[in-house]
A and B are shown apart, each in its own frame.
Chain A
C-alpha cells in the first residue's frame, strides 16, 4: 500500500509548517499549497492562490486528504478581504475535493467562531455562529466552518473541524513576536492586572491534534473540537513566560480593561477610515481577548481524538527560551 498524499494549505505558517513536518516524518507524501514556497525539506511546494478555484483544484489532484489551514488571520481590515480568503478559499477546497471524488478534510478553525458571551470558562466547542461571532476574522471563519462541515458525508467527503486556541511556539512572529516586541519597548499592557485565565496551545500539540483528527476521521467526522494545552494560565503568566524566554522585561503597563476595550473601539474606527499597511495597535476584540477568561473543557476533545498534549506549558517555554537564545531579540 502506497503512502497517502496529503495537501496542507497554509504550510508557510508556524502551525502549517509543523503539521507538514509531522506528516512527512510519518512517511506521508506531503504537498504544501500557498502563495510563496514553504521550502520544507521533503515537502512538495505547489504555488497558487486560495481564491483561485483552478489553483486549488490543481493542488488537490491526487490528494487523499486536505488539511486546510490557510486563512487571513490579522486582527483588522475590510471584511470582504477576509470573506474572499476564508470563506471563498474553503469553498474552493471543498469543491476541489468533490471534483476529485472525495477524501478527508480537516478544517482548521478557531474557537472564536462560536458565540459564547464575554467570558468562557470550561465550555466545550459549540456551534459556529457567523451572525454573532465577533469581528471579521471570527465571522468569516465561522462561515467557513459551516461550509466545510456542511460538506461532510456528501460526495465521499469526511470533514472535521479543529479549533486550536492561541497557538504559540518558537519562531512565531504573529503572536509571541509581537508580544515580545511590545514588552521590549515597554508598550505591552496588562488589563486589570492580567488576571483573566486563558488557554493557549503549544504548536507541537496543535499539530499533533490536527494529525490525530486526520487519523480518527472515520469516527469523528461531523464533529468540531477545540484544542488547547489544557493548562489555562493568567494572561500575566502567559506574557511573563514568553518575556522571560526572550529575556525582555516583563509587562509593567497596567490598564483597566474597560479603558482598553474603549481604546480598541476608537482605534478600530480610525483604522477603518484611514487604513494603513500596519496592524492597528489595539482592537476591541483583542482587548477583550486579553482581559476576559477564555478556557475550555477538553474532555471530549481528548477522548474522541485519543490525543493528549505532549509538550507542557513549562516545556514549551523552555523550547521558546532555547530558540530565543539562538535568535536573540535585537533593536
Chain B
C-alpha cells in the first residue's frame, strides 16, 4: 500500500522540503507507507535509485542508511558518488528530519518494524548493506537481523549496541536522560542538537550546520528527539531493554562482511562502544579516524572508505572470490622460527652466562646503578608472568606499557611476550596528546606504568585496569585507581614458584599478536603497527644478524627502544644515564660510562645524539676517552647519518664499524650501510642507505608526472618512485586502520613505505624523502632530498628543507635554510626572506645540481623536526608555511 507524497493525504503538513547543500534535489523524495500501527505515515528519504537509472547504472545492491539522534538522512549525502555503484536509501526516521511528526512515541522495536515496512513498500531486495549511525545503528542491526536473507554487509559508525548492566551511561547521555533535564534539553531548547553539531573539528561550514538544524526549528518539530532520547534503555526494566538485548546477542550470529568506522572524539559513543562491538563481531574491519568526532561522516572521508570497502569486501570483484589478504611477511623468505625471549631462559640455564649481567641501568629508578643477571632476569620474567596470569591478565589481552626503558620495562615486556599478552608500546616522545591518543586508540585492557604515567592516565581518563611498577602506598593506590604492582605480581609469582608451582603456560602461537608499536607522528597521527610473534621474532633476528650481536657482545641503548632488543638476542644491555625522552641530549661522558660497563659493545643512539656526543667530547677525561674508543660498532636508527658526522665519530671510536640503517616502525631493519659503504657509493641523488639486510627484498613503485604511483613496480636501477619492501619482519597490519593498512598493501606482497627513492646498479638503495613530498613541477618530478642536498653544498648553509606550493604537476619549489651563522637549536622561529646573494647562490646551485628551479629561499633559526627522532625535517610543516606566506597570507612561526 504505497502512495507517493504528492498524491497522498497531507497530514501534519511539513511544507516544501528545502534544498540541502551537496544534495542533488532529484534524490530527495517522500513516500507514504503504513507503520506498525497500520497508519499511513509520510517518510522523507534520499534515494539515488532514479539517478542511477538515469545514468544507466545497474546498482550492485542497496545501501540502507539509518541516522541517529538528532540528525537525519542528510548525514549520508556523501554516499552518492561515482565510485559507489549502489543505490542509497537513507531514511529520515518517523518523528525526525523531514519525515512526519505523528505524535506516537515509537519504541525501538516499533522503529525496526516501521523500517521493514518501508523497505517492503520500496521493494528493496538483496543484496543490502545496512549503514547505521548513533542510535540508528541499533535500528539498522534490528533490520539486518529481521531481513537476513537480503543482507550482504553491515556498516556501523559511532554507535553502541549494549549497555552493560551496572555500567553507567556515557556522561552526555546521563545528563540528557535525567527526567528533569530531558524536556528542557531536547525540546525546549535545541541544545542537544547544537551540541552534537558543535563536536566537529574543524567546525562544520555554516550551510551544513543550518541544514542539520532546519528540520528541528520549532519545539513541536523537536518532540521526536525527546522521545528518541527517552527510549534509550538505561536500566534493566526499560520497555526497550529486551529488544536491545536481543540485538546485542543477535549481532554475534551475523557473518556478513562488516565495517566499523569511528570518530574517537565522541562524548557519547566513545571507544568503549567500539571495543564492545569488536568483541561481538570479531571479523569486522575497523577504521578509526583519529581526531574526528561523533559526526565522523562530516569530519572524515567515510564515504571514500565505504567505496573501497564495498569494492573489496562486498562487490562482485570482492576478495571473497579473489585471494584474501595475506600479510607482507608471508611472502618473504622466513626467518628462523623461535619464541621471543627464549634466549633468556637458555642463558639463565647456562652456567657460563647465568650470573653475567643481562641489563645494566647506569641510573636506575633510584638514581643508582642497577645490574641484573640472566638468571635473575629469567626468574623475574617468569615470576611476573606467573603473577600476571594469577591476577587475571590473559593471553590476547592488550597491555599498555608506560615504563621507562630499563630492567622493569624489560621484565614486563618479556613477561607479556611469554604469556601472549599483547604489549602496547607508545613512545613517550610522542608527547602527552600523542601518547593519550595512542593509549586510548589501542583499547588496552591493562595499563602498567610508572607513577608519572599513572597520574597522567587518571587525569586523561586512559582506559584499562591499572598496575604500578613499584608497590605504592595505599593512599596513592586508591587515588590512582591502581590494583596492584609489578613488584607485587613478581612476589606472588615467586611465592608460587617456592610453593612448587612455577610458571606453567604454553608459549604463544607464532601467528598470534605479540605487540603494537606506535609510530611517531611525523607522517600524520601516530599509527599502531601490529606485530605477530613470528614477525617480531624475525625482526629481532634481522637486527641481530645485521649487527652480529651475541652474549659476548653487549649493546648500549642510547635510544630507548633498543633496550628491549638485547634479551631477545641474548646480548647484555646497558642504558646510559640520560633522559630517555630526549635521546638527542646523550652526552659523551654518559655514553663512555655505559660503554665501560660492558667493554667493546655495540652502541645504539638516536641520529641527533651523534652531534651532541661529538660536541661534548671535550668533557671526556682520559678514562672516558679510552672507554668510548673501545666501542665495536655504532648503530644509529631513525634517519640516515651524513658521512661527515661518521667521519668525525672516527676520532672518538676509531675501531667502531659505524652502521647507519634504514628502517621504520613497520619494518625496523630494511638496509644498512657503514662508512666504507657510504664512501664507495659516493655522491648521488639522495642518501645511500646501503643494501638490504638478510631476507629483505626491495622494489620501486613507478610514479607518474604528478608523483602518484601507477601500479607498475620495478627492480631496475635508477627508477625513482615509492620504496616497496618485503621481509619476514614487516608488521602484520595497522591497528584499527583498515584503509591505511590497505593502502600500504596495495601492491600484493609488498609494504609501501611512503618513502621515495631508487636502487642503483650495485643494488644499493637511495632514499630521497617522503613520497607525499615529491616535488611535482612542470619540469618533472624531484625528490626533496635532491633539492636539499644541492642547497646544502652552498658554503654558509647548515641544513636545508625543501617545500612546495601549488597544485601537483605545476608545483613550485621553495627552500628554507638553517645557516651556519643564524642557527639557534630548538627555536623554529618565523622564516625571513634570504639575502639576494644567498638566494641566488642557492637557486643557481640547485638548478645546476638537480635541475630544479627554486622560486624563493628563506632562512630560519631552526627547521622543524619530528620530536621523536629529532632528525627528520617536517617538510609538511614547511610546505604549509610556504603555502600561506607565498599566497600572501600572514603565516606565523614554523
A interface, CB within 8 angstroms of B: 118-119, 121-123, 191-193, 195-197, 230-234, 236-237, 240, 244, 257, 291-293, 295, 297-299
B807 at the A interface (CB under 8 A): yes
Q: List 20 A-B contacts (CB under 8 A).
A: A118-B888, A119-B887, A119-B888, A121-B805, A122-B811, A192-B889, A193-B833, A195-B833, A195-B885, A196-B888, A231-B853, A231-B855, A233-B856, A240-B836, A244-B836, A295-B812, A297-B778, A297-B810, A298-B778, A299-B778
**B809 cross-chain contacts in A, Cβ below 8 A:** 297, 299
Do B888 and A192 touch across chains, with their CB atoms under 8 A apart? yes
Is A191 touching B810 in the complex (CB atoms < 8 A)?
A: no
Instruction: State the CA gap A230–B813 with chains docked (Å).
Output: 12
From A123, A197, A240, contact of B856 by CB (8 A): A197
User: When the two chains form the complex, which single residue of B806, B839, B853, B889 contacts A295, counting CB atoms closer than 8 Å?
Assistant: B806
1/0 per position for B788-823, CB-CB distance to A under 8 A? 000000000000000001110111100000000000
Complex CA–CA separation, A299 to B889 (angstroms): 26
- By beta carbon, the residue of chain A nearest B806 is A122
- Residue of A122, A257, A298 contacting most chain B CB atoms (<10 Å): A122
B890 within 8 A of A: yes
Asked if B887 and A292 make an inter-chain contact with CB atoms under 8 angstroms apart, the answer reads yes
* Contact present for A234 and B810 (CB under 8 Å): no
- 14 other contacts beyond A121-B805, A197-B886, A297-B810, with CB at 8 A cut-off? A121-B806, A192-B890, A193-B833, A195-B885, A195-B886, A196-B887, A197-B855, A233-B855, A236-B833, A237-B839, A292-B887, A298-B778, A298-B810, A299-B778
Give the distance in Å from the alpha carbon of A291 to the alpha carbon of B810 in the complex: 21
Q: Contact flags (1/0) for B847-886 with A, using CB distance below 8 Å?
A: 0000001011000000000000000000000000000011
Whole-angstrom distance between the Cβ of B851 and the nearest chain A Cβ: 14
Given A191-B888, A293-B886, A293-B887, CB of A234 within 8 Å of CB of B833: yes
Q: In the complex, what residues of B have CB within 8 A of residue A295's CB?
A: 806, 812
A residues in contact with B886, CB < 8 Å:
195-197, 234, 293
When C-beta atoms are compared, the residue in chain B nearest to A288 turns out to be: B888
* A293→B888 contact, CB < 8 A: yes
Tally of A-B Cβ pairs under 8 angstroms: 66
The chain B residue with its CB closest to the CB of A292 is B888
Complex contacts, A244 vs chain B, CB 8 Å: 836
Q: Complex: how many Å from CA A193 to CA B886?
A: 10
B residues 460-517 in Cβ contact with A at 8 Å: none
Whether B807 contacts A257 by the Cβ 8 Å rule is: no
Chain B stretch 75-98: residues in CB contact (< 8 A) with chain A: none
B856 cross-chain contacts in A, Cβ below 8 A: 197, 233-234, 237
A196 to B833: give the CA distance in the assembly, Å: 12
Which residues in B have some Cβ–Cβ distance to A below 8 Å?
A: 778, 805-807, 809-812, 833, 836, 839, 853, 855-856, 885-890
Docked pose: A125 CA to B836 CA in angstroms: 32
Contact B810 A197 (CB under 8 A): no
A-chain residues with CB within 8 Å of residue B888 when the two chains form the complex: 118-119, 191-192, 195-196, 257, 291-293
B249 to chain A, nearest CB (A): 56
Q: In the bound complex, how far is the Cα of B888 from the Cα of A269, in angstroms? A: 25
Task: List residues of chain B with CB within 8 A of the CB of A257.
Answer: 888
Q: Which residues of A contact B806 (CB under 8 A)?
A: 121-122, 295
In this complex, what residue of A is CB-closest to B854?
A: A231
How far is A219 from B338 in the complex, measured between Cα atoms in Å? 70
- The list of the 6 closest CB pairs from A to B, nearest first, reads A196-B888, A122-B806, A292-B888, A197-B886, A297-B810, A122-B810
A297 to B890, CA, bound (A): 24
Whether the Cβ atoms of B812 and A197 lie closer than 8 Å is: yes
A232 to B810 alpha-carbon distance, docked (Å): 11
A121 to B807, CA, bound (A): 7
Q: Could you say which residues of chain A place their CB within 8 Å of the CB of B855?
A: 197, 231-234
B-side contacts of A197, CB under 8 Å = 805, 812, 855-856, 886-887
- Cross-interface CB contact of A121 among B778, B836, B885, B887, cutoff 8 Å: B887
Q: How far is the CA of A233 from the CA of B885 in the complex (A)?
A: 12
Min Cβ gap B607→A in Å is: 33
Distance between A184 CB and nearest chain B CB, rounded to angstroms: 19
Max chain B Cβ within 10 angstroms of own Cβ: one of A118, A230, A293: A293
Chain A residue with the shortest CB-CB distance to B839:
A237
- Whole-angstrom distance between the alpha carbons of A319 and B299 in the complex? 54
A233 to chain B: closest residue by CB: B855
Cα distance, A295 to B888, chains bound together (Å): 12
**A309 → B minimal CB distance (Å):** 12
The distance in angstroms between the C-alpha atoms of A237 and B887, with both chains bound, is: 15
Instruction: Give the residue name and chain of the B residue nearest to A256 (CB).
Output: B890
Separation of A195 and B855 alpha carbons in the complex (Å): 11
Q: How far is the CB of B63 from chain A (nearest CB, A)?
A: 35
Instruction: Tell me the minimal C-beta distance from A196 to chain B in angstroms.
Output: 3
Q: Which residue of B lies closest to A230 (CB)?
A: B778
Residues of chain B lying within 8 A (CB to CB) of residue A192: 888-890
Q: Are the CB atoms of A297 and B812 closer together than 8 Å? A: no
Cβ distance A263 to chain B, nearest Cβ, rounded Å: 16
Chain B residues in 8 Å Cβ range of A240: 836
User: Measured between C-beta atoms, what is the minimum distance from A331 to chain B in Å?
Assistant: 26
- Complex contacts, A237 vs chain B, CB 8 Å: 833, 839, 856
A residues near B889, Cβ cutoff 8 Å: 192
Give the distance to chain B from A304, nearest Cβ to Cβ, in Å: 14
**How far, in Å, is A27 (CB) from chain B's closest CB?**
33
Query: How far does the alpha carbon of A202 sit from the alpha carbon of B64 in the complex, in Å?
Result: 60
CA distance A122 to B807 in the complex (A): 6
Closest CB in chain A relative to B626 CB, distance in Å: 54
Which B residues touch A293, using CB under 8 A?
886-888
Contacts of B833 in A (CB 8 A): 193, 195, 234, 236-237
Complex CA–CA separation, A244 to B855 (angstroms): 18
Q: How far is the CB of B806 from chain A (nearest CB, A)?
A: 4
Please measure, in the bound complex, the distance between the C-alpha atom of A295 and the C-alpha atom of B887, giving whole angstroms. 10
| A118 neighbours in B (Cβ, 8 Å) | 888
Tell me, rounded to whole Å, the shortest Cβ–Cβ distance linking A249 to chain B. 14
B636 to chain A, nearest CB (A): 38
Closest chain B residue to A302 by CB distance? B778
Closest A residue by C-beta to B886: A197
Asked if A299 and B810 sit within 8 Å, CB to CB, the answer is: yes
**Separation in Å of the B266 CB from the closest CB of chain A?**
35
| Residue of B807, B853, B885 ringed by the most chain A CB atoms within 10 A | B885
Cα distance A236–B885 when bound, in Å?
Answer: 12
Closest to A244 in B: B836
In angstroms, how far is the closest chain B Cβ from the Cβ of A189? 14
A291-B890 Cα distance, complex, nearest whole Å: 11
Q: Whole-angstrom distance from the CB of B853 to the nearest CB of chain A?
A: 7
Cα distance A38–B778 when bound, in Å?
A: 38
**Of A119, A195, A299, which is in contact with the most chain B CB atoms at under 10 Å from its CB?**
A195
State A234–B887 Cα separation when bound (angstroms): 10
In Å, the complex CA distance between A240 and B836 comes to 9
Nearest residue (CB) in A for B705 is: A299
Rounded to whole Å, the gap between the CB of B881 and the closest CB of chain A is: 11
Of the listed residues B805, B810, B839, the one surrounded by the most CB atoms of chain A closer than 10 A to its CB is B810
Question: Which chain A residues lie closer than 8 Å to B811 at the CB level?
Answer: 122
Distance, CA A231 to CA B778, complexed state (A):
11
> Which residue of chain A has the shortest Cβ distance to B890 in the bound complex?
A192
CB proximity of B476 to chain A, nearest CB, Å = 54
Separation of A102 and B633 alpha carbons in the complex (Å): 82
User: Which of chain A's residues has its CB closest to B885's CB?
Assistant: A195
Contact between A297 and B887 (Cβ–Cβ < 8 Å)? no
Q: Which residue of A lies closest to B884 (CB)?
A: A195
Separation of A26 and B757 alpha carbons in the complex (Å)? 48
B779 to chain A: closest residue by CB:
A230
CA distance A274 to B687 in the complex (A): 65
Chain B, Cβ-Cβ closest to A291 = B888
Instruction: Please determine whether B812 and A232 come into contact, CB atoms closer than 8 angstroms.
Output: yes
| Beta-carbon nearest neighbor of A314 in chain B | B840
Give Cα A233–Cα B812 distance, bound, in whole angstroms: 10
Bound complex: CA of A123 vs CA of B806, how far in Å? 9
- Least Cβ–Cβ distance between A207 and chain B, in angstroms: 22
In the assembled complex, the CB of A35 is this many whole angstroms from the nearest CB of chain B, namely 37
Report chain B residues within 8 Å CB of A233: 855-856
Task: Report B844 CB to chain A, min CB distance, Å.
Answer: 9
